[in-house]
Amino acid sequence: MKGAASSYGYAAKRRWRGLAIGVLGLVILSMLVPLVFLLGLHNGFRSAASSAGYASEQHGSASDGLRGYDQYKIRNAWNASEGDQSSNVERLIGKFGPTLPKDVLRNLSNKAKNKTIARGSIHDTQPKEGFPVPPHGIMPPPPNAYSPKVGAAVEVPLYTKDVDEIGKLCEFKFGSYCLWRQEHIEEMKDSTVKKLKDQLFVARAYYPSIAKLPRQDKLSHELKQNIQELERVLSESTTDADLPPQIAKKLQRMEAAIAKAKSFAVECNNVDKKLRQIYDMAEDEANFHMKQSAFLYHLAVQTMPKSLHCLSMRLTVEYFRSPNNMELSVAEKYIDPTLHHFVIFSNNVLASSVAINSTVMHAKESVNQVFHVLTDEQNYFAMKLWFLRNTFREATVQVLNIERLKLDNHHKATLLHLSLPEEFRVSFRNVDSPPTASIRTEYISIFSHSHYLLPDIFQNLKKVVVLDDDVVVQQDLSELWNIDMRGKVNGAVQFCSLRFGQLKKYLGESSNDKNSCAWMSGLNVIDLVRWRELDLTETYQRLTRQLTMHEGSNEAIALRASLLSFEDLVFSIDSAWALSGLGHDYGIDIQAISKAAVLHYNGNMKPWLELGIPKYRHHWKKFLNREDQFLSECNINS
């Protein structure tokens, strides 16, 4: 019993002794840890850990130049983030851009097979329905992804051949954004930081192989030391201004170390793998930022600028503050068929004002001119007050709220709404051009649903000229009323670079004449008498009902129905009457601009936007009434 007790006491003493040693060790460790951080020794631990990562073949060190994270982890995390952001961008884009019909989208999503391209033609190897699909390798995104929009827009991909020019491919995918980016390109900032990151990537790619070479400990140590120095610099600096003064020497030492490493025979597979990872990550990042910036660009051109919103709101408030007895009694002019009547569909006060002002300023006799501005409920009072406050020589301006019109042939249960001219971005090769010719991108403007109410709205008129609100008139337009339209309904500038035959797969078999040219809105002479005789409104509505059964996009329906409704009923006026492209084409000849009777800013670079093409904007801005109080208050004159 006594021996057992003594052995128990001895064991207890040993346990207490071990516990005391453990407590003493924790106390010492707790004192050492702060001391380590105070002396900066933890950098050595991190460097040792980093060097272990460099020697490993399974871990790729392609961090962003700020930390030594594992490349694969960064790659996976970045891809997940990029995928989430891309999906968010696509969802947002879907809200702002119209979509093509489902059958067209299905055709666009399939890979083109066995494409054979003839000059200006599309062979029967295309799908049976929908637009011709580009061959594999240049498949565009769904047309609603980055479609520019005025009233609305749809991309019509007539792209039938591989393109080597990156700029043309970018323009096809993202439209005018690519042209705008070329004009507004900026010099690279923080180039030294970017160079440091590139050197760091290259050094990390070579280090694992150099570390395995016999008798190269000195080079391995030098390379590792330079990597650690650059890591430390980049962890504290994100711009060139943050870099330390001695950074040039560090760059030279790193360049010398990399040059020595490249002089040895190393494992090419490892270097190739590291550099390929860097390249892939940079390519994915560039692609994501391209999509993101293109989306933001198109969002900007589709959104009303703050200054224009201010103008509309101020005018609306002022309308209800001021007495409404300023309107002159000129109602008899509104229905006088002997006068020259112009019709403008618009929800933009400034745009419609410039179109009217430029027309009146170049008219020989403005007293015979009557302008009918059709707008919506939201902008009606702003439009009303603006045209009451501003005079346009002796011309008469009538503002109509299309949502309050009472038309005999319109169903009372269906509310009228304003729809602006539809714009379709079309990329194509000219019919007569060789197969190797570059691709052209144009914006085709077509009548909207509201235009087919013209005969019912103006029942007493025989002929009208329809102007888009994105035009500037430079000559007298009175000669348009003397044109003999030879039984046609719509006098327009035709666009014969694009023919119905090229749209066969889209228009279906409804079109008879495959050589018929597409036509442009913007400047249109409309014979309302002939329109009523042929009952084109009913034809359009019937086609719309038929297409609605197969289509989900109002914009796509408008394109088909408009082209088919006016087939063989378009009178081609001289192309000198209207020059289009000032809203997307940077290369228009200055002499052609000076000679054109009407300048059409079709495209998404409208002159009232900051994104408008600068060298064309002065033709538009000179017709603004800069002395108006509201323009100054809303900062529009700047």
**Assigned CATH topology for domain 306-633:** Spore Coat Polysaccharide Biosynthesis Protein SpsA; Chain A (3.90.550)
Beta strand spans in 261-395 (E): 340-345, 369-375
Amino acid at 321: R
Rg (CA), the chain: 35
Residue 350 vs residue 198, higher pLDDT = 350
Give yes or no for residue 65 having a pLDDT over 50: no
Mean pLDDT of 171-184: 75
Angstrom distances, CA of residue 9 to CA of 2, 17, 311, 596:
11, 12, 96, 113
Find which of 235-249, 321-335, 466-480 is predicted with most confidence, using mean pLDDT: 466-480
Sign of the CA dihedral with 69 first, then 72, 78, and 84 last: negative
Residue 345: the pLDDT is 96
Range of lowest pLDDT (95-104, 227-236, 311-320, 567-576): 95-104
Inter-axis angle of helices 377-389 and 349-361, to 10 degrees? Answer: 40
Q: Model confidence over 78-114: pLDDT tens digits?
A: 344 445 545 554 554 444 443 333 443 344 344 333 3
Find which of 199-208, 341-350, 496-505, 512-521 is predicted with most confidence, using mean pLDDT: 341-350
Percent of the chain with pLDDT over 70: 67
Show me where the domains of the chain are located. 191-302, 306-633
Q: What confidence category does residue 580 fall into, taking pLDDT thresholds of 50, 70 and 90?
A: very high
Q: What are phi and psi of 578, to 5 degrees?
A: -140, 135
Give yes or no for residue 366 having a pLDDT over 50: yes
Lookup: tokens for 582: 């000032």
Q: What confidence category does residue 68 fall into, taking pLDDT thresholds of 50, 70 and 90?
A: very low
Residue 554: the pLDDT is 66
Q: What confidence category does residue 152 fall into, taking pLDDT thresholds of 50, 70 and 90?
A: very low
Give yes or no for residue 426 having a pLDDT over 90: no
By the 8 A CB rule, do 399 and 383 touch? yes
Q: Give the position of tokens 């996009």.
A: 553
Q: What confidence category does residue 635 fall into, taking pLDDT thresholds of 50, 70 and 90?
A: confident
Q: Model confidence over 446-472: pLDDT tens digits?
A: 898 899 999 999 999 999 999 999 999
Give yes or no for residue 155 having a pLDDT over 60: no
Lookup: tokens for 568: 């063989």
H or E element at residue 463: strand 463-467
Lookup: tokens for 223: 């390379």
Range of lowest pLDDT (102-111, 160-169, 336-345, 363-372): 102-111
For 118, the 3-state DSSP assignment is strand
Sequential DSSP letters for 485-550? -TT-SEEE-EEEEEEGGGGHHHHGGG---TTPEEE--SEEEEEHHHHHHHTHHHHHHHHHHHHHTT
Q: Model confidence over 271-302: pLDDT tens digits?
A: 777 778 878 888 888 888 888 888 888 888 88
Inter-axis angle of helices 42-55 and 191-212, to 10 degrees? Answer: 60
